Amino acid sequence: MDKRNVIVTGAGRGIGRAICVEFAKEGANIVINYSRDAEGAEITKNLCEELGVKAITVAADVAKYNEAEKLFAACEEAFGMPHILVNNAGITKDNLLMRMSEEDFDKVIEVNLKGSFNCTKLAVSSMSKKRYGRIINIASVVGLSGNIGQANYAASKAGLIGLTKSVAKELARRNVTVNAIAPGFIETDMTLNLPDEVKSAMLSSIPANRFGQAEDVAKAAVFLAGEAADYITGQVISVDGGMHM
Ligand code: NAP
């Protein structure tokens, strides 16, 4: 990964931060995107720099194409265009379908799916020209199995899997691989405030009998970007302790 440029969206905390740190351990230049949490992004930057790599933070709402453009322009100016893109930014707005507002459906699709489309579109031209690119989309177990109260989120993540496979087919000849990771229940701010009964129901559905850590997902991302995965494209790798088989 030495001298590779990596953009990680939504990297001010949680899984995105862990992905930045794992890529920093490999010597990559790190572009840390966030939308609101500048302080969190700065902490991620410090963690990367302590590992001896260069890192920048860039504020951009990836759901907006013009802001995603600013993210790529900042990467280009600091390091050159990215070799690796991790579409990690994501939100939830859970509710039963009967109670789900149109706004909450649209917002989740805009960030999780459209945001990944925006960044992928901005990444592929230079990757195609360079005949090298690694795109990793952070989907979810819920995109594979559905979940009560998450029609918007599950649809966004299932859509992301469709996006992954389509772009993988389009770009495989140019040595650009596109894969998805489907995390199960990972202990981050996203899952912190779920009620205890939901957490214990989740735990009982995990054969490994433990919740995942952000590092479990980050290590899979580094694997998919590394030489060992050169011939892997269009795949969905579950990182879920066996939750979905
Ligand atoms: P998290 O702790 O809530 O972090 C989400 C990150 O996304 C934050 O840094 C947030 O930054 C950023 N973000 C949100 N909207 C954004 C936007 N419009 N533009 C740019 N950044 C934005 O969540 P996490 O658990 O680390 O989740 C990371 C990814 O893994 C998500 O795609 C999530 O769906 C997926 N995932 C998580 C789990 C889990 O159990 N935790 C399971 C499966 C999949 P700001 O605060 O600056 O907005």
Among residues 125, 161, 9, the alpha carbon closest in space to that of 70 is found at 9
Hey, what's the torsion of the CAs at 194, 156, 148, 15, to 10 degrees?
Answer: -30
Task: Provide the pLDDT for residue 99.
Answer: 98
For ligand 1, atom 48, which residue shows the shortest CA distance?
35
Across the range 214-223, mean pLDDT stands at: 98
Higher pLDDT, 218 or 2: 218
Which atom, in ligand 1's list, is nearest to the CA of 139?
Answer: 44
Which pLDDT tens digit goes with each residue over 11-39?
A: 999 999 999 999 999 999 999 999 999 99
Model-level pTM greater than 0.75? Answer: yes
Please write the tens of the pLDDT for every residue from 43-60: 999 999 999 999 999 999
- Place 194 in a pLDDT band, splitting at 50, 70 and 90: confident
pLDDT of residue 14: 97
Distance in angstroms (rounded) separating the CA atoms of residues 53 and 2? 9
pLDDT of res. 101: 98
Average pLDDT, integer, range 54-69:
98
Please state, for a pLDDT cut of 90, what percent of the chain lies above it.
Answer: 95
Q: Is there an atom of ligand 1 within 6 Å of 241 CB?
A: no
Is residue 110's pLDDT more than 80?
Answer: yes
**Banded pLDDT at 235 (limits 50, 70, 90):** very high
How is residue 231 annotated by DSSP? T
Distance between Cα 34 and ligand 1 center (Å): 9
Q: Is 34 a catalytic residue?
A: no
Paired tokens of 39: 């302080």
User: Quick one: 77 exposed, middle or buried, by C-beta within 10 A (0-12, 13-18, 19+)?
Assistant: exposed
Q: What is the band of 3 on the pLDDT scale with cuts at 50, 70, 90?
A: confident
The protein residue whose alpha carbon is closest to atom 32 in ligand 1 is 90
Question: Is 215 a residue whose pLDDT tops 80?
Answer: yes
Please state which of the ranges 41-45, 75-79, 90-94, 195-199 shows the lowest mean pLDDT: 195-199
Q: Does the C-beta of 58 come closer than 6 Å to ligand 1?
A: no
Handedness of CA 57, 63, 64, 68 (dihedral sign): positive
Residue whose CA is at the smallest distance from ligand 1 atom 19 = 61
